[in-house]
Chains A and B, each alone.
Chain A
Amino acid sequence: MSAYLRDRILPVLTVIAAILVLWHVAVVYLNAPFVRDQAARAGETITLSQLVERTFAQERPVLPAPHQIVAELWDTTVNKAVTSKRSLVYHAWITLSATLAGFAMGTVLGIALAIGIVHSRAMDRSLMPWVIASQTIPILAIAPMIIVVLNSVGISGLMPKALISTYLSFFPIVVGMVKGLRSPEVLLIDLMHTYHASQAQTFWKLRWPASMPYLFTSLKVAIAISLVGAIVGELPTGAVAGLGARLLSGSYYGQTIQIWAALFMAAGLAAVLVSIVGFAHQRVLKRMGVKP
């Protein structure tokens, strides 16, 4: 236990402590000009300790202090009903549902494309360049167009955002699964050949299980960028609901604390999602009898 504490907890705590120290220094440095300005306008002269104190308590700071963000997070999650539009949980759920829908579609699409690419030379040649090209288009540029186009055909709400998530998340799945499905050694493929195994048998008994480690690595990347996709998808919709909307309205009204709270919520959500995939990864590998 003490070894666990020393090897796992202590390094993390050290980094967090270092970040907090730097953050507080930055808060004072970045907010000081405004505080001085305010004081000058009010005709006060303030001491250094007063200056520092005020930089930590700004209503619209350039950089909020950590405790302000924590207070805002607490206020908007615990103190508000989850159905309220002022609840961060409500907004997080809006974003999360689009994320999960997009992630699911991206996973299915990615696996389907990978299976096609691995089994058909024509698909390998014709599809793979497009798959790669699709990711060179900046998502910020294409997201508003997807929203507008889908809106014009009457699709709005969750679907357009989920599709942007799909657009981002299918890519790591395709790349990972193509590699994974091709990962069995020639020897193992030859073995299936000597049994006169069908293509479907070779797939289900060899290629699919062999691709599992690759799948989960891809899923971890995919779920994180699904969240990014959903948030990006919320930005051009005119900020109705979701973490993206919170970011956008926060920046309209200079509510930096709200922006940071939404950012932390998004980061926390991503961490939880990636951990869940990581946990599933471990469970599956354990069930497959992989050497611990």
Chain B
Amino acid sequence: MNPSPLSVVSAKNLGLTFETNDGPVHALSNVDLEINKGDFVSFIGPSGCGKTTFLRVIADLEKHTAGSITVNGMTPEEARKNRSYGYVFQAAALYPWRSIEKNIALPLEIMGYAKSEQDKRVAAMLDLVNLSGFGKKYPWQLSGGMQQRASIARALAFDADLLLMDEPFGALDEIVRDHLNEQLLKLWAATKKTICFVTHSIPEAVYLSTKIVVMSPRPGRVTDIITSTLPKERPLDIRETPEFLEIAHRVRQGLKAGHSYDE
């Protein structure tokens, strides 16, 4: 296999089967996917379709059992040991005994950055996610949306080119979510990262992505890959344009095709 220089994630025939007491569970089967540098890729599908599992395989938090995958041209394990990606979980997962700036500094401490460099980066990250002035606060003193922004700052602090986000705004209300989506797009444009984004929400996926991967369960598989025709500049009201609705319609069709709701 010879991935192109632009390839960030390249999966071929990827499969993952969990052995359980009730027999094997095919969390992923025959997934072929290319993610290029600078892409914003959303993974959408019902529960059990393997979207989170796929993200965890990229992050080397799960091991695939079939096919192959490279991350930055390496195995996921090598990529992880190279600190190639930042991971944002569904919950903010901030350490309650660390202030916000200490939370953002956590990966930097672990990776052995000098203290002055840590301080510089923490300040820059706080600024990037609009949390300047909240560095000394503890997580419980912040709202859910602010906590999630802090966790994004933490994932970006060490310059990984790839950002893996597992339903990061799933637990937030619609208004906060809209706001964060808008901010995330700006952040993506400013940092030129490659982002893999797992979501349940069709509008969110269409609004954010350059590429939408529609998945379906039993076995977890990719049923459609939609390349967005929306422009890079996306104000929130782009969601009422016919073009947007067209893509959303196609995602919905893909979800319907892959999943029988009569089961």
Contact = CB atoms under 8 A, between A and B. Distances in A.
Q: Is the interface of A mostly helix, strand, loop or mixed?
A: helix
A92 to B, nearest CB: 37
A50 to B, nearest CB: 66
B59 A194 contact: yes
Contacts of B85: 194
B91 interface: yes
A209 B102 CA distance: 14
Contacts, number: 54
Nearest to B61: A190
Interface string B125-140: 0000000000000101
Contacts of A190: 61, 87, 89
Interface size range on A against B: 20 to 34
Interface string B174-194: 000000000000000000000
Interface stretch (B10-18, B21-29, B106-114): B106-114
A201 B110 contact: yes
Contacts of A193: 60-61, 80
B83 A191 contact: no
Contact of B111 (A191, A195, A290): A195
A197 B110 contact: yes
Interface in B78-108: 80-81, 83, 85-87, 89, 91, 93, 95-99, 106-107
A205 B91 contact: no
Given A191-B87, A194-B85, A212-B97, 6 more contacts: A188-B95, A190-B89, A191-B89, A195-B110, A205-B95, A209-B95
Interface of B: 59-61, 80-81, 83, 85-87, 89, 91, 93, 95-99, 106-107, 109-111, 138, 140
20 contacts: A187-B93, A188-B95, A190-B87, A190-B89, A193-B61, A193-B80, A194-B59, A194-B61, A194-B80, A194-B86, A195-B107, A195-B110, A195-B111, A196-B83, A205-B109, A288-B97, A290-B96, A290-B97, A291-B96, A291-B140
Interface of A: 185, 187-188, 190-197, 201, 205-206, 209-210, 212, 288-291
